[in-house]
Structure 1
Amino acid sequence: MVNTGLPAGWEVRHSNSKNLPYYFNSMTRESRWEPPEDTDLETLKAYMAKYHSGAAAYPDGSNQDDGKIRCSHLLVKHRDSRRPSSWREADITRSKEEAREILRGHQERILEGEIRLGDLATSESDCSSARKKGDLGFFGRGEMQKEFEEPAFALQPGEISDIVDSPSGLHLIERVQ
């Protein structure tokens, strides 16, 4: 049996409606999007990377086609964004400079090691990828807006960009792979 890092009775399942993994306790019938208390997060992270990121599709476990990278991001929209609304706010009225200040605060917390980008994206990102800790999955050149793609491809795995301005809003990008 594969060690997931989850406490006894818990397992990882996949939601077909949201196309996301979730946690289910077969004894209590409880389900949740966040890992339960007492989870070994490092073991869970390794398990999720191996079994729930599409790695099974690639025999070498690389989980990527040639030239593709994987990134997470934290998006803060402003009133001049392409679609100034999100799951967090129906009508975003903040200025671009206000959005920049919000993102600078998030950037400072991340760089100081107070919180990880993905954990912050879950509650603070204006992108629907927030429910996946900002994970955008694998993408190649020409699949993202140029303003986003260029800085993303310039990052090395583990690096986080400075503030990136795109038609969608302002981003912090973390290259995962």
Structure 2
Amino acid sequence: MSAMVCLGAIAGAFGVQGEVRLKSFTARPEDIAAYGPLYTEDGARRFEVTLTGRAKGSLTARLSGVPTREAAEALKGTTLHVPRDVLPRLPEDEFYHADLIGLEVFDTGGAPLGRVKAVHDHGAGDLLEIHASGRSGTILLPFTREAVPTVDLSLGRIVADPPHGLLPGDAERS
């Protein structure tokens, strides 16, 4: 778990007055402005955020200290973070994506499957991208109670019961 959590990224400039296109990673996109100032990953810059509207696939916003289109464009690709302690406490069965990344994944028999590399949300539910050492590519595991019955943050591990056919070699084990 990290002291800073990524809530979004700057997708580029919007207009000529220094506004930015902002990609929000929060459950409700507009909540990105509700957590107080946002910081660059290294903490070197701090931005107050004022949402100004929506653009295709993103929000538009003014960031403090970004007065021109050139300054906004220079920030393209910058990720925006908040201190973890400003985020609300979640119910026991909910998790921030940042908490899942890096956790070790084991099958229900205790065999290691790999580590969570990323969490993806393509609209139909979250997917855990799992990378196993010695294996090329990654596995995309549905993040459902059926496929992931146990997440233990204190032990830094996930117990998974992948659907049949998801893992390499499942066909031979039938």
**Structures share a fold, TM > 0.5?**
no
Q: TM-score, normalised by structure 2?
A: 0.31
Q: TM-score, normalised by structure 1?
A: 0.30
Which has the higher Rg, Structure 1 or Structure 2? 2
More helix, by proportion: 1
Q: Which has the higher contact order (CA 8 A, sep 6+)?
A: 1
More strand, by proportion: 2
